[in-house]
Amino acid sequence: MTDTRPIHSAHSYRLSTTALVVICLIAATTSDLRSADLARQAIEINRCAAGIVGGRTDAGHPAVGLFRTKTKPCTATLIGKRTVLTAAHAIDEGFQHIFVLGGVEYEVESAVQHPRFTVRDQPLEDADPLQYAAHDVAIVRLRQAPPVEPAVLNTGPLRLNMQLAIVGLGETRKGRDDRGVKRVAENTIAILFRRNYQFNDHGSVCHGDSGGPSFAIIKDREVLVGVHSVVSNPCGAFGVDMRVDFYIDWIKDTAGGDVVLLPAD
């Protein structure tokens, strides 16, 4: 990544030995993703890091569903008639993924990771959360269109301290094994980069929320602003999302235009 300093920062955040960066990763699909292999070996069982901590059961956000992977499930969001947005590390090459929305299973027709997805080649305990993963987004196409209204994608800039609704179907605590229930928590943007942002403390993500959305109110509408990518271990110290507005052109092109966008001014 070329970003070396935050656009904005509410305060600095220093990692401790009990708050290590955790990211869930796939087997690298190309030989140049050696760093992804290194990180996966270090994490081992944390296949889909990133459940909601300090949140509550969510009866809303109908476009958010469970994304079944080769091992443990992640989270994803319907953003078009047949288009789903998730994290690049949630994609398993050669595996028949399933998107579960409203209790109905939808087969995946295709899944495309961002071509520049990678992670830094360094020990997790030495990593800066905002610099650890790059381009961790993916577009999934379903064989059939769910009868659900898609989430609206943000197309404009974010701001420091923006209020977030963080949604996922992961665990509420590491090892609790209570994935599959949609939950939501509130937090704010603490550090803002061009490609991603960080939120800190309680009201955060945990294992199984990877690929899930963060929403914000913009122009009086709730819109999808981020995709869950990096989390702390133990859960609840911080989380990092990829910014939808930064990747909006790639998302639109890869989805063939099958997306719902927040109208421009």
pLDDT tens across 105-163, in order?
999 999 999 999 997 776 656 778 888 789 999 999 999 999 999 999 999 999 999 99
Q: Which two tokens stand for residue 83?
A: 């288009």
Q: What angle do CA 202, 50, 188 make, to 5 degrees?
A: 40
Give the CATH superfamily of 16-254: Trypsin-like serine proteases (2.40.10.10)
72-81 pLDDT per residue, tens: 899 999 999 9
10 Å CB burial of residue 170 (0-12, 13-18, 19+) is buried
User: pTM value?
Assistant: 0.83
Domain boundaries along the sequence of the chain: 16-254
Is residue 88 within 8 Å of residue 115, measured between CB atoms?
Answer: no
3-class DSSP assignment, residue 263:
coil
Please give the C-alpha separations between residue 165 and each of 5, 20, 177, 216, 225, in angstroms, as whole numbers. 25, 24, 23, 6, 10
Give the chain's mean pLDDT.
81
Look at residue 49 in the predicted model and tell me its pLDDT.
Answer: 43
pLDDT tens digits for range 205-263: 887 899 999 999 999 999 999 999 988 777 888 899 999 999 999 999 999 999 999 98
Q: Could you tell me if residue 180 is left (phi over 0), alpha (psi between -120 and 50 degrees) or otherwise beta? A: left
Q: How far is CA 163 from the centre of its chain?
A: 17
